[in-house]
Structure 1
Amino acid sequence: MNQIGEQLQVMYLEYWNRLKGALADGNVNLHSLSNPFLIDADEPYQEASIKVLFVGKETNGWGQYIDHVDREPEEAICDLQNDYIRFRRDGKWGHTPFWRACRIIYDKLNTGGPKDGYMTSNLIKLDQNRTRPSPEVEEIICNNFPLLPYEIKILRAC
């Protein structure tokens, strides 16, 4: 794992159990939640001259949170970061409006730069039933898993 990924992992670890406890306390149906969308920076991003982070609202499915919730946090986080890298390299969603727009904007800013050297993240790190969480669940997630400002800080430092 690269230095950026390690910094992100440390930050994710800080909030992992906090989210888990808050969801349990809120009596949330864990089967309805996706995995957290945890990012990692691969080589194209690190090589890009102009760093770009695109932020979506939430995933449209990202596996099942219930599959990772009781695993060792370090292992679960590492696996989710690896899923992010595989997802980005696979590119099977590249035809959708969000991903096309990301690529076009990035390419305009980084003419001749590495292909797909931008990063993506989400405002809300988990979805519920493949869409935006209910207001109650969204509040739990946002209050206990406020990752985006820290992701931005870590990505800016590289």
Structure 2
Amino acid sequence: MNELNKELEKLYLSKTDGIFKMYKELNESGYDDFSYPLLLHVWEEEYSKAPVKLMIIGQETNGWGAKLETSDHVISSMQNYKDFNLGRNYNSTFWQWARKINQMMSNPDTNCFVWNNILKFGKDSDKGCPVWQVTEHENKYFNVISDEIAILKPDVCIFLTGPSYDNYIRLKFPDVEFDNFGGYKLINEVAQLKSKNLPVHSYRTYHPGYGGRYPDWYKEVFDIISQAVRKDLKVKD
């Protein structure tokens, strides 16, 4: 296991007691429709060599296996992420755009970027947000995204969450500000996110499920973002 994955594993193991408290409280309240937490794995050699270290942040998983029951399952959950292989066998609109965005940053079409979600716990076997009690407990016991970013140190975070998830972002990054960017007048369309726990190049726009309906407009958003990133980081086209 490489160093970044060791640091991630250490982080997750330090939070397992919290996860078990979360499970206990939710189960006692009658809420059990939630999945494994999304625990990251990084292809470190590819990530470290990428011209732009990119983290793409979605909404939540569309089902993600059973619940984490013992600390041993941290390893299996990270392996689940690795086996998913950044959606290479999952031909959805989200993954088509994720790979396209990665390449627009002048990165190779490899597993050199990181996929994350603003909500670590999705539904057990379906898409969409879990009930709010699950997310409330996640924020109480397993709010780790700032720690993941501190470990991985991405140059860029792109939130493909859409404006309806902005309150979830605020719960993860209490100091976050949503600023206009790139000539877009509507914050709902595109925003630059500013927080002490985010890289300078952090942006939020629509999820590909919506933005992908307007491919020319959507591609232009990422063209403008990638131009700003590559210019600042002095990355050649």
Q: TM-score, normalised by structure 2?
A: 0.59
Question: CA offsets per residue over residues 54-104 of structure 1, 9 Å max, x none?
Answer: 011110100011xx31x2x1x2111111111111166111x2111111111
Query: Aligned pair 1:106/2:108, yes or no?
Result: no
Residues 105 and 157 of structure 1, relative CA distance in 2, 3 Å threshold? closer
- The 4+ residue runs of structure 1 with deviation greater than 3 A are 28-31
8 Å Cα contact 1:55-1:122 kept in structure 2: yes
Identical-pair percentage? 23
8 Å Cα contact 2:54-2:114 kept in structure 1: yes
Cα-Cα RMSD: 2.1
> How far, CA to CA, are the matches of 1:146 and 1:54 in structure 2?
18
8 Å Cα contact 1:34-1:64 kept in structure 2: yes
> How far, CA to CA, are the matches of 1:140 and 1:39 in structure 2?
20
Higher relative contact order (CA 8 A, sep 6+): 1
8 Å Cα contact 2:34-2:134 kept in structure 1: no
> How far, CA to CA, are the matches of 2:106 and 2:143 in structure 1?
29
How far apart are 1:30 and its partner, in Å? 6.6
Amino acid at match of 2:144: L
Residues 157 and 104 of structure 1, relative CA distance in 2, 3 Å threshold? closer
Query: Aligned pair 1:122/2:124, yes or no?
Result: no
Task: Find the structure with the greater CA-based Rg.
Answer: 2
Question: CA offsets per residue over residues 76-133 of structure 1, 9 Å max, x none?
Answer: 111111111111166111x21111111111101124x352311101111111242311
Amino acid at match of 1:146: N
Residue 46 of structure 1 aligns with which residue? 48
> How far, CA to CA, are the matches of 1:147 and 1:91 in structure 2?
26
> How far, CA to CA, are the matches of 2:62 and 2:119 in structure 1?
11
Between Structure 1 and Structure 2, the one with more strand by share is 2
8 Å Cα contact 2:33-2:123 kept in structure 1: yes
Please state whether the residue corresponding to 1:142 is helix, strand or coil.
helix
> How far, CA to CA, are the matches of 1:28 and 1:9 in structure 2?
29
8 Å Cα contact 1:31-1:64 kept in structure 2: no
Question: CA offsets per residue over residues 16-72 of structure 1, 9 Å max, x none?
Answer: 11121133124255752211110011132232121000011110100011xx31x2x
Please state whether the residue corresponding to 1:32 is helix, strand or coil.
coil
- Structure 2 residue runs of 5 or longer lacking an equivalent are 156-237
8 Å Cα contact 1:39-1:81 kept in structure 2: yes
Between Structure 1 and Structure 2, the one with more helix by share is 1
Residue 227 of structure 2 aligns with which residue? none
- Structure 1 residue runs of 5 or longer lacking an equivalent are none
Q: Please give the residue correspondences for 1:19-58 in structure 2 after superposition, counting only pairs within 5 Å.
A: 19-26=19-26, 27-29=28-30, 31-42=32-43, 43-58=45-60
